[in-house]
Amino acid sequence: TSEREGAVEYVFKVVVIGDSAVGKTQMLGRFTKDEFSVDSKSTIGVEFQTRTVSIQGRLVKAQIWDTAGQERYRAVTTAYYRGALGAVLVYDITRRQTFDHVARWIDDLRSHASPSMVVMLVGNKSDLASDHHSRAVTTDDAVEFARDQGLFFYETSALRGDNVEAAFMRLLEEVYAVAV
């Protein structure tokens, strides 16, 4: 991964969506700064963060947008989706409702976003899954749902860092394959 800003050839806008408190902001912080912030809402008001990665030898700047809390009021707007080539749709594996709402987020994407947008479904907080009482969404259910809807899928832990890099990189590689 190179960070030589001067040689960036492509900029990909990616939006992060999903219910409140599923870990969207922490996932973004993990991917762009490799950090997990205890003061979770420190990035409020910041519209996007960037990270430059190398894909097939080309420097791609990922410009990753955070809802900054708008999803609480179901006020994520068309402007938020405009120009986005990829979406990370996050739910919390310990809260069933956040998975049940994924279909609603997909409707949102279908009405506001480009049909060619690449969507990565992410079940976050996998660090809590070792306690079987905490898990509320099985991996099998999510895999099946993702397959039916044509989404890519990963379970991640923004807290531990597990799979966050893999999920974002896979998404960016798929966007590259579609858009370049």
Could you tell me the sign of the dihedral formed by the alpha carbons of 65, 82, 118, 122, in that order? positive
Applying CB under 6 A, which part among 15-23, 56-64, 108-116, 167-175 lies near ligand GDP?
A: 15-23
Applying CB under 6 A, which part among 3-11, 17-25, 73-81, 135-143 lies near ligand GDP?
A: 17-25
Q: How far is 108 from 77, CA to CA, in rounded Å? A: 9
Contact by Cβ (8 Å): 106, 89? yes
136 binds ligand GDP (CB under 6 A): no
Q: How far is 161 from 34, CA to CA, in rounded Å? A: 8
| Rounded least distance, CB 131 to ligand GDP, Å | 11
Percentages helix, strand, coil for the chain (3-state, rounded to 5) are 40, 25, 35
Q: Which amino acid is residue 61, in one-letter code?
A: K
98 binds ligand GDP (CB under 6 A): no
- Taking CB under 6 A as the criterion, the residue among 31, 125, 151, 154 binding ligand GDP is 125
Closest residue by beta carbon to ligand GDP: 23
Q: How far is 143 from 10, CA to CA, in rounded Å? A: 31
Angle among Cα 36, 161, 179 to the nearest 5 degrees reads 105
40 binds ligand GDP (CB under 6 A): yes
Applying CB under 6 A, which part among 7-15, 47-55, 98-106, 122-130 lies near ligand GDP?
A: 122-130
Q: Which of residues 29 and 86 has its CB atom nearest to ligand GDP in the complex?
A: 29
> Residue numbers of the site for ligand GDP (CB under 6 A)?
20-26, 40, 124-125, 127-128, 157-159
